[in-house]
Chains A and B, each alone.
Chain A
């Protein structure tokens, strides 16, 4: 069902032409209920020291360090669907509680926590893409 409103956090404006990420909480009909656009540099600021769980990257860290977005392609299928939203949220909360993220990167981190919590609470998919795919 289409949402009555869509919430957007835009941390990409002014960075057009630079690499970035697109995060969305979407229903099965691919309607976005909440989405965030961010310059890659702010994601990089959050993951200054990559967090690991049992010597593995998880959540946002895995996305940033391990996922090759060019390995899957085009249109809405371009989105990487996060299987474990809880794990993703825990990874974000680790950065929130254990690092000193500042300024726009902190805005992004708080926005992501809110977006993922929203997706969990409303049983929505958590989708991620490179900016050019979204």
Chain B
């Protein structure tokens, strides 16, 4: 054993020889297995999502402004000059939707970005209630709708544009 070393060294056997010359220890740290790759849980995505984000690393669910569960439904749309990947899932009585879209030549917001909504399903005679994430807040769909209309008509106020920009996430989660 190496002088002064009291812990387990996965690369050496107990008598100090190189591990590949000796039998493998019975209990080994996971990194000794060639076929095990340890990744963060949020980096695991379904095969379907893997296909959907091909060529668009920012569309990876780990970049979503809210955490996307592994079993989220993934849908991709590819049209001329414009692509979109949408993740949907249900949690706590809400239906969540995190939607990435590529830069859109015809839309005022030309950069690729994420938009997140959550919807409480309609009940009885009530419409579904949708909220849109803008920065750290959830704003009502009615407010969001009014802002989008104002932008389309070219009459949006600074406050409305700020709210709209905050609802189009262009950076990775947690980065300013």
A residues lining the B interface (CB < 8 Å): 13-19, 39, 41, 44-45, 47, 50, 52, 55, 57, 64-66, 68, 70, 73-74, 131-133
Q: Are B125 and A55 in contact (CB under 8 A)?
A: yes
Q: Known: A16-B82, A17-B113. Contact between A41 and B149, CB under 8 A?
A: yes
Contact of B127 (CB < 8 Å), options: A15, A64, A70, A74: A64
Interface: B77 (CB within 8 A) = yes
Q: Are A17 and B127 in contact (CB under 8 A)?
A: no
Known: A15-B148, A17-B101. 12 other contacts (CB 8 A): A14-B108, A17-B113, A18-B107, A41-B145, A44-B141, A45-B145, A64-B128, A65-B128, A66-B121, A68-B121, A73-B73, A133-B75
Chain B contributes a number of interface residues (CB within 8 A of A) equal to 32
Contact of B84 (CB < 8 Å), options: A13, A50, A132: A132
Interface: B152 (CB within 8 A) = yes
Chain B, residues 63-106, CB within 8 Å of chain A (1/0): the string is: 00000000001011100001010101000000101010100111
Interface: B7 (CB within 8 A) = no
Cβ–Cβ < 8 Å partners of B126 in chain A: 50, 65
Bound: A44/B130 CA distance, A: 11
Cβ–Cβ < 8 Å partners of B128 in chain A: 64-65
Q: Are A17 and B107 in contact (CB under 8 A)?
A: yes
Cβ–Cβ < 8 Å partners of A74 in chain B: 75
Interface: B109 (CB within 8 A) = yes
Cβ–Cβ < 8 Å partners of A52 in chain B: 125
Interface: B115 (CB within 8 A) = yes
Contact of A70 (CB < 8 Å), options: B75, B108, B109: B75
Q: Are A17 and B148 in contact (CB under 8 A)?
A: no
Bound: A93/B50 CA distance, A: 44
Q: Are A70 and B113 in contact (CB under 8 A)?
A: no
